Amino acid sequence: MMHTLWLRAETKLNERRTPLIPAHARILVKNGYRVCVEASRDRIFSNSAYRKQGCILVEKGSWRFASRDTLILGLKELPEASFPLRHRHFYFAHAYERQTGSVDLLERFKSGGGFLYDLEQIKDPSGAQLVTGGAGYLAGLCAATACLDIWKQRQCERTGAYRVPLQFASCAELVAYARSLVTAHVPIPRILVIGHRGKSGTGVAHLLDEVGLGFDRSPKITNDYIQRRALLHQYDIIFNCIKLSKDTPVFLSKDMINADTRIGLIGDVSCEPTHPGNPIPIYSAPTNFAQPVFQTPEGIDVMAIDNITAMLPVECSQILSEQIFPYLCYFLLAQGVHEASPFVRVVDSFNLACRESLGRGSYDVSAGFADRPARAAKLPTRHASASFG
């Protein structure tokens, strides 16, 4: 039986990235897979580029009606709805750690008999992410550029809401634009980068170096060194680039803001506003390209666009697809046999999230899929659950 992979069209504002570029889709087609691609005017690669590679163009949003054994691939969250989810989905759901809305989403998968392979949960045995959400480094470049633009607008007389660029053709074009923002007419801000050693922190630091702005690197702020967060109030712009962990304390809450607080702008590159452990609980939802800033009653602007790398859709899509494609190929070939692979951990994480959020145990989502091989049925639940073929 020919297996079907379905690339859905993204619905998030200004989302032009894709987790599967045409060149990689062609490899699947040449190896006997049926690749359906939902038509999209926003995707950075044209519909015809996929058609030329042998993909089948289908209507946007039609994944709902695909056969149940179809594997659905996406990038960002599904459109808000309540219908049960009966397919197996690959995308960045951010739904395994009790984020806002995660319980309802897991319930939809549970009731529909589908399964969520959250791309951010593809990790090595030590817990390091193998698929990083499309280049943390690029996220740093984009976030730093957006914040410098917002800072300039904040200092100048402006009318209406803040605006940030929607996209650049290349990193070089983005850097050139960022340089143009640093002029003699704009006061030089005092900048702090938290998490400078990580990928996104490195991107922020590189951009600031490229435009000639000095900045300080924050020592790691943990529950054991919580006094370090007092340093934050001495800066105009703060970039949060940390990887959230159980040892991460609150960096800045509403009751910490006082007359001595100098902070004017926060670039929350990590962007975890819906996570119960959000270290910057002065805002509760991501911002977006239409409304890039949330302003607190105290006048602090927060830039937290969670798909900020959509500013560089070509480079980011290429990196995303290069990261995802090997695991996608493995998944298609493994046919339910996933010992010694990241999918064992992904399935375990999904089932753990269901137990903790819904109070229910694990279950075999492969049951009832028409093309499931007999050998997969004999495997323990966590391996059979990951079956595609």
Q: Which helix (H) or strand (E) holds 304?
A: none
Give 6-33 as a DSSP string.
EEPPP-STT----SS-HHHHHHHHHTT-
199 within 8 A of 142, measured Cβ to Cβ: no
Whole-angstrom distance, CA of residue 304 vs CA of residue 315: 21
Strand order, beta sheet including 115-118: 56-58, 34-38, 4-7, 71-73, 88-91, 115-118
Q: Which helix (H) or strand (E) holds 244?
A: none
Selecting among 94, 110, 199, 338, the annotated active-site residue is 94
For residue 188, the 8-state DSSP code is P
121 within 8 A of 95, measured Cβ to Cβ: no
Closest to 352 in 3D by CA, of 316, 311, 385, 312: 385
Q: Which helix (H) or strand (E) holds 158?
A: none
Chain CA centroid to CA 33, Å: 27
Within 13 Å of residue 116, how many CA atoms lie on the same side as its CB?
32
Selecting among 12, 24, 76, 87, the annotated active-site residue is 76
Is 94 catalytic? The answer is: yes
Left (φ > 0), alpha (ψ -120 to 50) or beta: where does 37 sit? beta
Is 76 catalytic? The answer is: yes
Question: Which residue do the tokens 């010992």 mark?
Answer: 339
Enumerate the active-site residues.
76, 94
